[in-house]
A and B are shown apart, each in its own frame.
Chain A
């Protein structure tokens, strides 16, 4: 059974640009959550999607957005990139509304 797949693994962008990250959840999982991880702040919750609807949202500016498709794949978009957006972005899938989350390997975003 394939795990959570995130693409790309590494990304370098320039300030002001935008970026789109992709996450394919475990087959049969309908919930996808996104997290930002930095050394100083730890894992911070961005948002969660379930059946194409945003269920929960963290305290991030509107530059961070996401969506989920009918096949449960999800994308996250960050516009007008800032240096502080450099982080490991993690996606986690859950089967439904139960609790166990399974993470992908993450996308390492560097903004220069």
Chain B
């Protein structure tokens, strides 16, 4: 069973601050996805990283996949209240012709105005 540990579990910051959340595992993943979930809604896919060392940017969000494809980070610059939500990472492992997704428990981010 692949386990994904996300840290921190909770994060409360002021508008304009920077932050980084982490997603770590002892397992190697074929790819890793980041989602944001707002209360009462389903998770929304933000990005997929596939190659070890890969960095992807989505406006103020920067995603990095570790060189060994076991970990990932999400950095937010100048956070805004609209960034508030639960950030989930999910690692994909290929088994035969199928991919299985394993989710972390998430980081609950609150950005205060």
Q: Write the nearest CB–CB distance from A57 to chain B, whole angstroms.
A: 11
How far apart are the CA atoms of A42 and B88 in the complex, in Å? 9
Q: How many residues of B contact A (CB 8 A)?
A: 24
Contacts A42-B103, A56-B98 known; A103 to B43 CB distance under 8 Å? yes
| A13 lies within 8 A of chain B by Cβ | no
Q: Are A101 and B90 in contact (CB-based, < 8 A)?
A: yes
Contacts of B105 in A (CB 8 A): 41-43
Q: Which of A6, A41, A90 contacts B43 (CB 8 A)?
A: A90
Contacts of B35 in A (CB 8 A): 103
Q: Write the nearest CB–CB distance from A46 to chain B, whole angstroms.
A: 12
Q: Write the nearest CB–CB distance from A28 to chain B, whole angstroms.
A: 17
Contacts A90-B43, A102-B45, A103-B42 known; A43 to B31 CB distance under 8 Å? no
A-B contact count (CB 8 A): 58
Q: Which of A43, A45, A55, A103 contacts B98 (CB 8 A)?
A: A55
Residues of chain B from 56 to 105 with CB closer than 8 A to chain A in the complex: 88, 90, 92, 97-105
Binding site for B on A (CB under 8 A): 4, 6, 33, 35, 41-43, 45, 50, 55-56, 88, 90, 92, 97-106, 108
With both beta carbons as reference points, the residue of chain B lying nearest to A42 in the complex is identified as: B105
Q: Are B45 and A100 in contact (CB-based, < 8 A)?
A: yes
Q: Write the nearest CB–CB distance from A80 to chain B, whole angstroms.
A: 26
Q: Are B42 and A43 in contact (CB-based, < 8 A)?
A: no
Contacts of A101 in B (CB 8 A): 33, 45, 90, 101
Q: Are A105 and B99 in contact (CB-based, < 8 A)?
A: no
With both beta carbons as reference points, the residue of chain B lying nearest to A44 in the complex is identified as: B103
